[in-house]
Amino acid sequence: MIPDLFTLPFMRRALLAGVIIGLLAGYYGVFVVQRRLSFLSVGLSHAAFGGVALGLLLQVNPLWTALPFTVVVALAITWVTQRSAVSSDTAIGVFFSAAIALGVVLLTFKQSYTVDAFTYLFGSILSVRAVDLWVLGGIALLALGTLPLWGRWAYATFDRDLARADGVPVDRDDYVLAGLLAVTVVAAVKVVGIVLTAAFFVIPAAAARLLAGTFRHMTIVAVLLGGTTATGGLVGSYAFDLPSGAAIILVQAAVFGSAVLVGRAVR
């Protein structure tokens, strides 16, 4: 029964982890959607595979190796985009393809890796431990610390040239945002897996864009949708015995579909 869900320690940890990641994904997702960087979230989530493979090879927690690996990839993509004539989508395609290829090569050096790799490809939120919650709490505090930067990020999102002319360190802020997005992507891998992580950042923010009239309201709605859909997806996965990560994404997709219908009705 559903009430029993809250009496199970592993489900309480999973719920808390899902809500934290949902809130973070909604917060950063508005910038991903508004700046048309959806491919970046896809690229970083797949780039994390290279870090995961390195962790499996070294027999350490794969998320500890995926974190610095993905951050380096995010910063490298930003650097190449800013310092060369290569477009952002091209740079993302190059780096995430190389990261996946590196991951495949690293996995060939480890025997019996299939089960471990499968876990990170599709997520394992029910295996979240207390230490994972402490890490997520630290990432959430880091996000709270960026609230003073929200206005600058929003300014640059809508008019980079004017923001730069007003003295906003747009290029430096791009590195900060890319690094924080990479950190959150790696954290989300534990919840929904490498394959579905990008949806966690895109769908709630896209739905919020259809429902909100201003960017500030869009951010608030996206954060709320991220947290509530994570909860709803976990409850649904428990009730109907479904994969938790996939259930969360399906709930988010249903919310997005409802937002599309609401937007059409309003117009």
pLDDT digits (tens, 9 = 90+) for 165-222: 999 999 999 999 999 999 999 988 877 888 788 888 999 999 999 999 899 999 999 9
pLDDT attached to residue 5: 66
Q: Where are the beta strands (DSSP E) in 11-54?
A: none
Q: Among 57, 56, 32, which Cα is nearest to 197's? A: 32
Q: How far is CA 189 from CA 8, 75, 127, 249, in A?
A: 22, 19, 12, 13
Is 10:126 a contact under the CB 8 Å cutoff? yes
Helix (H) or strand (E) holding 150: helix 147-158
Q: CA-to-CA distance for 145 and 125, rounded, in angstroms? A: 26
- Contact status, residue 102 vs residue 53, Cβ threshold 8 Å: yes
Structure-block tokens of residue 250 = 């399906």
Residue 262 confidence (pLDDT): 81
Report the number of distinct structural domains present in the chain.
1
Q: What is the pLDDT of residue 84?
A: 85
Phi then psi for residue 168, to 5 deg, are -75, 130
Judge whether 57 and 106 are in contact, CB under 8 Å: yes
Coil, strand or helix at 103: helix
The pLDDT, as a whole number, for residue 3 is: 58
Tell me the CB-side half-sphere exposure of residue 178, using CA atoms within 13 A: 27
Burial of 67 (0-12, 13-18, 19+ CB in 10 A): buried
- The CATH number given to whatever domain includes residue 46 is 1.10.3470.10
6-46 pLDDT tens trace: 677 878 888 898 899 999 999 999 999 998 888 888 888 88
Instruction: Spell out the residues 6+ positions from residue 53 whose beta carbon is closer than 8 angstroms to its own.
Output: 62, 102, 103, 104, 106, 107, 113, 117
Q: How many CB atoms lie within 10 A of CB 266?
A: 8
Place of tokens 């979240």: 128
pTM score, whole prediction: 0.89
pLDDT-based confidence at residue 110 (cuts at 50, 70, 90): low
Q: What is the mean pLDDT of the chain?
A: 87
What percentage of the chain carries pLDDT values higher than 70? 93
Is residue 124 predicted with pLDDT exceeding 80? no
pLDDT tens-digit map of 49-82: 888 888 888 888 888 898 999 999 999 999 998 8
**What percent of the chain is predicted at pLDDT more than 90?**
44
**Per-residue model confidence (pLDDT) at position 62:** 82
| Residue ranges making up the domain that contains 109 | 2-266
- Tell me the two tokens of residue 57: 């090879």
Cβ proximity of 22 and 195 under 8 Å: no
User: What contacts 19, CB < 8 A, 6 or more positions away?
Assistant: 227, 230, 231
